[in-house]
Amino acid sequence: LTTDSFRTKAARAGAAAMFYEAGIANTHAENGLLIYLSLLERKMEVIADRGVLKAVPPLKWNHSVFELKEVAQKCEPEDLINALRNLGAVLAEHLPATGENPNELADGPRIELK
């Protein structure tokens, strides 16, 4: 058995490693975002680069992330998809892909079994 604290730390460490390994930390405008869902730890971590945090108003960002994490705990796939869509709409509003801000990374899920 593991403690909740241990699982949280393990998920955070995995998310931080993925953020750099996947090149999310290296986008030109520093607008990378990682939503890391660890099935083993049953935890979700959201890591946003500086550009995201500068572009999205803090209240809107915090609400979106809170909604996403709340839904993830319920393990309802449809609700999770809707929360991801809502976050996507917030990001599209404040960080639209343009010639000056191209979409450098794939938006789809990246699944790794470790």
> What mean pLDDT, rounded, does the chain reach?
90
Residue 98: CA count within 13 A, CB half-sphere = 9
Instruction: Name the domain count of the chain.
Output: 1
The 3-state DSSP composition of the chain as helix, strand, coil percent (nearest 5) reads 55, 10, 35
**Residues 85, 9: Cα–Cα separation, whole Å:** 27
Q: Answer yes or no: is 77 within a domain.
A: yes
Which of 12, 88, 23, 75 is CA-nearest to residue 46?
12
- pTM of the predicted model over 0.85: yes
Number of H helices, E strands in the chain: 4, 2
Provide the domain limits for residue 66.
4-94
CATH number, domain of 73, equals 3.10.310.50
| Residue at 99 is within a domain | no
Model confidence pLDDT, tens digit, residues 40-74: 898 999 999 999 999 999 999 999 999 999 998 88
pLDDT at position 105 is 81
Q: Answer whether residue 102 is part of any domain.
A: no
Region 8-24: mean pLDDT is 94
